[in-house]
Amino acid sequence: MSNKPDPQVLETAIAAASNAHTGLHQAIHELRHGSVTEGKQIIARQIAALANALMIL
């Protein structure tokens, strides 16, 4: 028996991880050039998104 998730679920998790990756780049930009508070908020949102991606797998 394979431990692979349903292909649609996998695609959803990949999309969530990809979006989080983009969000982390945005957070880094905010931390370097903008608001530390905003950067921290973006990081927190990306952590939540990645946690959700883990839960569906």
- The 10s digit of each residue's pLDDT in 1-54 is 567 889 999 999 999 999 999 999 999 999 999 999 999 999 999 999 999 999
Go through 35-48 and write b for each residue having 16 or more CB atoms within 10 A of its CB, e for each that does not: eeeebeebbeebee
Please give the pLDDT value at position 2.
Answer: 63
Strands of 1-57, DSSP E: none
Structure token digits, residue 1? 């028996």
Please give the pLDDT value at position 3.
Answer: 79
Closest CA to 15 of 7, 3, 27: 7
